[in-house]
Amino acid sequence: MDVTMRDAQFDVRGSRIRWTESEGVGPARVYVHGLGAASAAYHAHIAARPELAGRRSLFLDLPGHGLSDRPADFGYTLEDHADAVAAALEGAGAHGAELIAHSMGGSVAIVLAHRRPDLVSRLILTEANLDPAPAETAGSSRIAAYEEEQFVKEGHAAYSSRRGPCGLRPCGSPTRGHCTAVRPGSSGAPTPPCA
């Protein structure tokens, strides 16, 4: 499988949104990560599954994340991120894409689908932040409460030690949390993939 790095300009200053892309057929599947992540590291293992392989896949890094630029004067709102994703999809010629988005990326994908339905044919959301005022105990709310320097200094280590790598509860923990999936061909009921 050939993988290439691509980018597109998303503001008037020339800031770049970047993604890695693998060749394939059909409408593009665009993977959008959550807060503090990067798509290739977070989603490549999912796209490589035999039942999903063979499709054109874009692993998009939102502005301020992964390989994308981090302009100081970018607004970093859901709408700003959606506009940047639109620039990437336009640059990739990926109209009618299927967006697979996690957490904050899911919220960005919803805004994009609403504003640019020509770019999005399907949304697949995992743990998207759909509540405009989530409880302070929600994982992303705890992370968002930190100032950036404070999170880098102490928050990431504290959060990771409670949750495991990438903020996920380890499989087999008393509360399965993120450890659920819908198996292809199933009734759609979540099943624990690591039970």
**C-alpha to C-alpha distance for 15 and 88, rounded to whole angstroms:** 12
| pLDDT at res. 133 | 60
User: Domain count of the chain?
Assistant: 2
Residues 107 and 164 in one domain: no
**C-alpha to C-alpha distance for 8 and 88, rounded to whole angstroms:** 5
**C-alpha to C-alpha distance for 14 and 5, rounded to whole angstroms:** 17
| pLDDT at res. 184 | 35
The SS3 call for residue 87 is: helix
Please check whether residue 139 lies inside any domain of the structure: no
pLDDT beyond 90 at 60: yes
- Distance linking the first and last C-alpha atoms of the chain: 31
Please check whether residue 123 lies inside any domain of the structure: yes
Quick one: pLDDT band at residue 26, thresholds 50, 70, 90? confident
pLDDT in tens, 67-119: 999 999 999 999 999 999 999 999 999 999 999 999 899 999 999 999 999 99
**Looking at the whole model, is its pTM more than 0.75?**
no
More confident residue, 174 or 12: 12
pLDDT in tens, 150-176: 877 887 677 666 544 443 433 333 333
pLDDT in tens, 175-186: 333 333 333 333
Q: What is the CATH number of the domain that holds 16?
A: 3.40.50.1820
Closest CA to 42 of 58, 57, 31: 31
Residues 26 and 63 in one domain: yes
Residue 118 in tokens: 């020509």
Please check whether residue 68 lies inside any domain of the structure: yes
**Mean predicted confidence (pLDDT) in 3-24:** 94
**Mean predicted confidence (pLDDT) in 17-38:** 92
